[in-house]
Structure 1
Amino acid sequence: MKRIYLIRHCKANGQEASAKLTQEGEVQAGQLADFLHDRFIDWMVSSPYQRAVSTVQPLSQRLGLPIHMDHRLRERVLSSEGMPDWMDKLRKSFDDLDLKLPGGESSREAMTRGVAAIQDLIQRPERNIAVVTHGNLMALILKHFDDSFGFEAWSRLTNPDVYELAVTRDKTIDVKCLWK
């Protein structure tokens, strides 16, 4: 059975691509490496955003594996405009996957690119893959495989968070939360 560990990055100092992990986030990255160390990870891929790469760096160093970048794992842009009611708009975007705000990406567009990255990983020969991404995109990927995963589930995600996508021989995907 193939296992894909879908990981939300550790606590960071912001949302921009160059945002670094906080001191707490750096500690969390070490704890995450401890948590994943015995899961026989044989491939790592990350969003190119600094906070995502830094999240998996301790595990990469421990296992001696490179971190591969995939731009499809970058965070979804809800809108390029500031919105005081962004949380309400985000909630609506889980109900209406085609809702597209100015300068942003619809949930369906983001989900499609995120799931394409996962589908490509399913085709790889490696059996245990660590994938580091961002909360909104992670929630949309999980929603694709479990339609009950919506806004409320997104709001309960933590930094970091880990979900296992277990891929069976018949390509069925079982989703399980591992990080508590």
Structure 2
Amino acid sequence: MASSITGPTTATVHLVRHGEVHNPEKVLYGRLPGYGLSELGHRMAAGIAEHFAARSDAGQPVHLLAASPLQRAQETVAPLAERLSLPVITEERVLEAENSFEGLSRVKQQLRNPRWWPLLVNPFRPSWGEPYTQQASRMLAAAKDLSGQAVAEHGDGAEVVVVSHQLPIWVTRLWAENRPLWHDPRRRECSLTSITSLHIGPRGVESVSYAEPNHELLKDATALPGA
């Protein structure tokens, strides 16, 4: 892979998936504009703000905030930015993955149509969208730059929060854990407003941890495509 994270210092980059989206038509919205958080999604965003504020009060402050430019990511980071009085860097490299099925509703039913079958020939790349390697590469490049900036401004052990999207976060974790990037989407461990933390040291990403601060809210969430 072209991008990796190396350096003599340590930092942590917390990759946060956005909250639940208002999507009653169950559209695979991908990068489409106009998809903001549901009422539950806003509660999740508030919960993430409380989580990191509590860590800050305990001596583990966040030094830098960044988010995908998509509405759902910006709305998720907003309460945290307000709570910590930090500006938000809009980071294009942590955008949702490109997907040829973007805009379709009830995708599983749509895939019965032979017109879509040529896009399914290579699930390992995948053939219907942005290559997994490309997603991980851009995510890692963003993490490297943001962590480097945080360390330069705040010293060793700096922490960064980046609000992004399920698939790019998941393939970045797979890369960091030296696992194949192709996978069964049903087995992703990356719930709404979960935190996938990249712990960076002299050798690059040295470990990954995972947390679900809003675990109690997940039971009320609707499984939606395009998240």
* Alignment match, 2:200: 167
Tell whether 2:81 aligns with 1:72: no
Letter of the structure 2 residue corresponding to residue 6 of structure 1: L
Q: TM-score, normalised by structure 1?
A: 0.84
* Alignment match, 1:128: 159
What is the aligned-residue RMSD (CA, Å)? 2.5
Q: Deviations over 1:73-98 (max 9, x none)?
A: 11002215655349xx89x64xx2x3
Maintained 8 Å contact 1:166/1:174: yes
Following TM superposition, by how much is the alpha carbon of 1:109 offset from its aligned partner in structure 2, in angstroms? 1.9
* Alignment match, 1:58: 79
Distance 2:163 2:99 in 1: 19
Distance 1:155 1:77 in 2: 18
Q: Percent of aligned pairs with the same residue?
A: 22
**Aligned in 2, Cα 1:134/1:172: closer, same or farther, shift over 3 Å?**
closer
Following TM superposition, by how much is the alpha carbon of 1:164 offset from its aligned partner in structure 2, in angstroms? 1.3
Any unmatched runs of 5+ in structure 2? 1-9, 24-28, 113-118, 216-227
* Alignment match, 2:130: 105
Following TM superposition, by how much is the alpha carbon of 1:151 offset from its aligned partner in structure 2, in angstroms? 3.0
3-state secondary structure, aligned to 1:128: strand
The count of corresponding residues between Structure 1 and Structure 2 is 173
Maintained 8 Å contact 2:68/2:74: yes
Maintained 8 Å contact 1:135/1:154: no
Letter of the structure 2 residue corresponding to residue 169 of structure 1: P
**Aligned in 2, Cα 1:138/1:18: closer, same or farther, shift over 3 Å?**
same
The higher relative CO (CA closer than 8 Å, separation ≥ 6) is in 2
Distance 2:92 2:163 in 1: 11
3-state secondary structure, aligned to 1:13: coil
**Aligned in 2, Cα 1:17/1:115: closer, same or farther, shift over 3 Å?**
farther
Maintained 8 Å contact 1:48/1:71: yes
Bigger helix share: 1
Of 201, 211, 219, the match for 1:178:
211
Tell whether 2:166 aligns with 1:141: no
Name whichever of 160-169 and 45-54 sits farther off.
160-169
Runs of 4+ deviating beyond 6 Å = none
* Alignment match, 1:20: 36
Distance 1:111 1:47 in 2: 15
Maintained 8 Å contact 1:3/1:128: yes
Distance 1:112 1:166 in 2: 17
Of 134, 137, 142, the match for 1:117:
142
Any unmatched runs of 5+ in structure 1? none
Following TM superposition, by how much is the alpha carbon of 1:59 offset from its aligned partner in structure 2, in angstroms? 0.8
